Structure 1
Amino acid sequence: MTNVVSFPDRVRGFAPARLIEARVALQASRDELGRAVGLTGQAIGYYETGARRPDMEKLLSIAAALRQPVTFFLREGRPMPATTGTRFFRSIGPKSNKLNASLDVKTKWLWEVVDRIGKLVRLPEVKLPSVDRSPGATSYSDEEIAQIATATRRLWGLGDGPIANVIALLETNGIIVSRYEMGSDKIDAFSCWVDGRPLILLGSDKESACRSRFDAAHEVGHIILHHGAAQEDLNDKRIRDRLEEEAHRFASEFLFPRNMFLIEFYSTRAAHLQGLKRRWGMSMQAIAHYAKVLGAIDDSQYVLFRKTVTKNRWLREEPLDREIPMEQPKMLLKAIKMLVDRGALPPSGLESENGFSLEMVQRLCGELPAALAPVGPSLTLLSS
């Protein structure tokens, strides 16, 4: 009897889709990746289509070039659910295709982490105010936005004072927050709904905590105000600009309620604006712009303030930017730590199941603090 030697198939033990994701996340072409690892773009194409698989020596080079653990390329990822809503806000136009695809991949990775953890841990319920619109309404008035911002604060148990930690507040109310490299200085934040839960990705390279807080509040505005917007609407600049302005107004009203603003704001002097910035966690420029919108200062006063900003080189870095600490997401990392501590996940965390190393999860979910402070929601392990 003749012995037949059976060889393994060409892609078992290697997930071509993960290679595509990792490359797209870094906005690299096949040729660019090939040059980085001493291959042709065509060879990378063979790996991505599954026609061939890389040997371990090449896979190590590819993993290093794409900043992923080798295990990432050995585990199949899960497809995104069909219930993915409008993505706010992607850059528009043919030159933005790589950036948009990169953001979609990062959103998919974050959802994979959330989906896995959500099967083991009772994540906080999504608590958002309902918004009743009259039939045919296409925009929000300033008064409507102010009322919705107030309703959001009340639903979340807030009065009209400063918010101590915006990210912890969002996580407590069921919004998933991540910090990740955006790959472009044109986008500060990004949000969407996936499978009934809102996700916000904040740029990890922004050095101003106050501007980052505003970005987070801005995305909450999109999540609440524009849940029903269609993706194709964003191709119309007029609609896109209107939605951006509405989310911007929501962020201002949410972070610094106008009744308090009109009491506490009375000068554009640097010392006064710095004090308001320290108290309310909003940048000096955002405060001055809000004052102009509310009519607390006129156009000429605002122009003088802008000249002061330019003269002092505050456009990118204002006073206090290096003093006020950056808020970090903690909920997902706390959940993973709890699951590992209780034996519901292996010590490697999600690496053995999803191929996500701890370093990658930290990049997706936030910095792992030296001691997980009791900030944010409490988590309950689901019974098996």
Structure 2
Amino acid sequence: MFFGEKLQSVRELNSLSRKELADKLNVSEQAIWQYENQYTVPKFEIANELKKIFNVKAQFFYSEPFITNISKVESIAYRTEDRDARKKTKMETSFIDFTSYFLNKFESKLNLPNTNIAQLRDESIKLYNQRADSDNQVLHLEMIAENARKKLDVVTNSDLLYRLELSGIYILEKNMGSSIDAYSTWTNQEKPFIILGNKKKSAVRRNFDLAHELGHLLLHYKMDMDSLTKDEHKKIEKEANDFASFFLLPKEQFLEDFSTILKKSNPDSYIDLKMKYMVSIGALEYRAYKLGLLTFEENRYFYAKLNQKNYKKNEPFDEDIAVIRPGKIRSLLDLIFRNNLFSLNSILNDYYLNRSFLESLLGLENGFLEKYLEESTIEYFNTSNVIPLFTKGS
């Protein structure tokens, strides 16, 4: 029996519309709809093309669905400039559903350590909900950020990604096109995700993305992102940006370090601080300006020079600072497969997947899983029941 539900889920996982898939198969969009709703069954030639497109085996579409919906469209936090891309949010829920399913399966063999991200979220929301009683909401948000940095034990921003993974957040890289930098969400199983676009981006800008999405996870839990007005969305985006600024650049230490800068309106004066905090020159100046350390005129001059030097795209030493890639899932897979808690061959055979399917899903480079594949050999003969024809000495 052909399961149209599986075709729909894997199509959405690959961010393809029915029209886009139809074009790849040289069939009508109506035909794809009929396949997915099981009004018709694709011919052998079409099924063969589907397995190539989605890196699965043909039996994948003829086996029972195994994915359940654990993520919600309204829980995914996109950037303001990504509002026009929200039509693709449903496809991102499919990605979260698939990813979470396999992570749950792999982790089922382990006794996982306790993580503190959910507790930190609850603390942050409690403080966040008290902000209406505060005369200075910015100061209130700064307290939340400082508490988060302390509880996550972030000593230096260079190990931010590692500290977030250690806290219980799952961080993956995914090609989401040019319009989406990153997004974050909590699943209904209380599993937090940060998804980073894998387009080329400097390490310092990625740090800000991580802190921004952390802000969403801690401050905007269960907020219906899909029903927000444009102004409401701008407001929570500003909160996430401010949180990131406060989190990455703690006030007291930053004030002390900034006092050493002589030419506050010159972007090149911020390079030493950039290397210390692993934050972009623009983010450093923004923090200083909001703290009242630059005048309005100095701020305008700074941005004029920033544009003149083309630093909004490429800053000094961007190429010299290594981009840290997520490592938690790699470590999980290595532990699982090297200790034979699961067989990769069995996983691929049981779910009718190709190796490249899992590599793409989990943000791994092509060929990463190859070393865990066992050589499947069939033993036609063995020596257990051989009767020797000749004995020694005869």
Q: Does TM, scored on the shorter chain, surpass 0.5?
A: yes
Alignment partner of 1:196: what SS?
coil
Cross-structure match for 2:234: 241
Q: Does 1:328 align with 2:301?
A: no
Partner of 1:41: 29
Distance 1:17 1:138, change over 3 A: farther
**Residue 17 (structure 1) aligned with residue 17 (structure 2):** no
Whichever residue aligns with residue 281 of structure 1, its letter is: M
The match for 1:340 is: 337
The number of residue pairs the alignment matches comes to 355
Query: Is 1:298–2:295 an aligned residue pair?
Result: yes
Q: Does 1:111 align with 2:84?
A: no
Tell me if 1:261 matches 2:254. yes
The aligned counterpart of 1:365 is 362
The alpha carbon displacement at 1:180 in A equals: 0.6
Q: Does 1:155 align with 2:142?
A: no
Identity of aligned residues (%): 23
The structure whose residues are more often helix, as a share, is: 2
Give TM-score, length-normalised by structure 2. Answer: 0.80
Name 2:172's counterpart in structure 1.
Answer: 178
Distance 1:106 1:257, change over 3 A: same
Once the two structures are TM-superposed, the CA of residue 138 in structure 1 deviates from its matched residue by 9.4
Structure 1 residues without counterparts, runs of 5 or longer: 1-9, 373-384
Pairwise CA distance, 1:108 = 1.7
Aligned partner (choices 47, 52, 75) of residue 40 of structure 2: 52
The aligned runs of 1:118-267 (5 Å cut-off) are 118-128=107-117, 129=120, 130-131=123-124, 132-133=126-127, 137=132, 141-158=137-154, 161-183=155-177, 185-194=178-187, 195-233=189-227, 235-265=228-258, 266=261, 267=264
Whether 1:68 aligns to 2:55 is yes
Paired AA for residue 193 in structure 1: W
Q: Is the 8 A contact 2:35 2:42 kept in 1?
A: yes
Match of 2:269 among 264, 267, 272: 272
1:188–1:49 CA distance, 2 compared to 1 (3 A):
same
3-state SS in 1 of match to 2:41: coil
Matched residue SS, 1:143: helix
User: Which gives a bigger RCO, structure 1 or 2 (Cα 8 Å, sep 6+)?
Assistant: 1
Q: Does residue 1:29 correspond to 2:17, yes or no?
A: yes
Residues 210 and 282 in structure 1, CA contact (< 8 A), matched pair in contact too: yes
1:134-186 per-position Cα deviation (integer Å, ceiling 9, x unaligned): 5694998121222112211221234xx42222211111011111111123x33
Q: 2:286 & 2:233 partners in 1: Cα distance?
A: 20
Matched, 1:286 2:280: no
Would the aligned equivalents of 2:359 and 2:366 in 1 still touch at CA under 8 Å?
Answer: no
Would the aligned equivalents of 1:25 and 1:101 in 2 still touch at CA under 8 Å? no
> How much has 1:32 moved relative to structure 2?
2.6
Two-structure CA RMSD over aligned residues (Å): 3.1
SS in structure 1 of the partner of residue 201 of structure 2:
coil
Letter of the 1:329 counterpart? P
Q: Which protein is bigger by CA-based radius of gyration?
A: 2
Counterparts in 2 of 1:186 and 1:209: CA distance versus 1, 3 Å: same
One-letter identity of the residue aligned with 2:146: T
Shift of 1:83: 8.4
Conserved? CA contact 1:208–1:321, under 8 Å: yes
Q: Which runs of 5+ in 2 are unaligned?
A: 370-394
TM-aligned CA distance change 1:82 to 1:172, over 3 Å: closer
- What letter is aligned with 1:112? Y
User: Structure 1: how far apart are the matches of 2:252 and 2:333?
Assistant: 41
- Residues 44-72 of structure 1 show CA distances to partners (whole Å, capped at 9, x for unaligned) of 2222112333355423423444x533366
How far residue 193 of structure 1 moved from its aligned partner, in angstroms, is 0.8
